Amino acid sequence: MIRVYVSSVIDVPADTLWARIRDFNALPKWHPVIKDSRIENSMASDQVGCIRYFHTTDGGLIRERLLGLSDYDYTCVYEIVESPMGVSNYVATLKLTPVTDGDRSFAEWSAEFDCAPDREVELSQTIGQGVFQTGFDALKRGV
């Protein structure tokens, strides 16, 4: 099993940042590689079990299921249901922790997954930098 972990300090209070990212259907509003998104079966976007169906800007289709959402812990846990990336058993966690010195947020995004051994380095880089860090950078810019 591969583990990818990225962290960042974002100069936005955790409450404010969480209000922006907690909506499981809001990726296109803040993540630059997400083109569109919808929640299947008319479920609420904060209901555990809902599935988001979205396209990336390069045309990829991904479906992810919300496994956990905690407003108390500022945590979102989800799994990939369908993806062209070639991963299996993919579970990711996006977590914020308030940084009281300066009223900032410590953001962590991690994932564990299985993939073909010859794709481990490529997928770790794509997910860690191309997805997680790109998202954090956009949040820092206020996108």
pLDDT digits (tens, 9 = 90+) for 50-87: 999 999 999 999 999 999 999 999 999 999 999 999 99
Reduce the DSSP state of residue 56 to 3 states and report it.
strand
pLDDT at 116 over 80: yes
CB-facing half-sphere around the CA of 39: CA atoms within 13 A = 16
The answer to whether 139 and 20 are in contact (CB under 8 A) is yes
Predicted TM-score (pTM) of the model is: 0.94
Residue whose pair of structure tokens reads 């989800």 in the numeric block: 78
Token duo for residue 22? 């907690």
- What is residue 72's predicted lDDT score, i.e. its pLDDT? 96
Nearest CA among 122, 40, 44 for reference residue 85: 122
Name the E strands within 11-74. 34-39, 51-56, 61-70
- pLDDT(143) > 90: no
Taking a C-beta distance cutoff of 8 angstroms, is the pair 78, 66 a contact?
A: yes
∠ CA(61), CA(43), CA(59), 5° rounding?
Answer: 10
Percent of the chain topping pLDDT 90:
96
Domains (ranges, CATH) in the chain?
A: 2-141 (3.30.530.20)
25-57 confidence digits (pLDDT tens): 999 999 999 999 999 999 999 999 999 999 999
Those residues whose C-beta lies under 8 Å from the C-beta of residue 11, and which sit 6 or more positions away, are 102, 104, 140
118: confidence class by pLDDT, cuts 50, 70, 90:
very high
Query: What pLDDT shows up at residue 142?
Result: 84
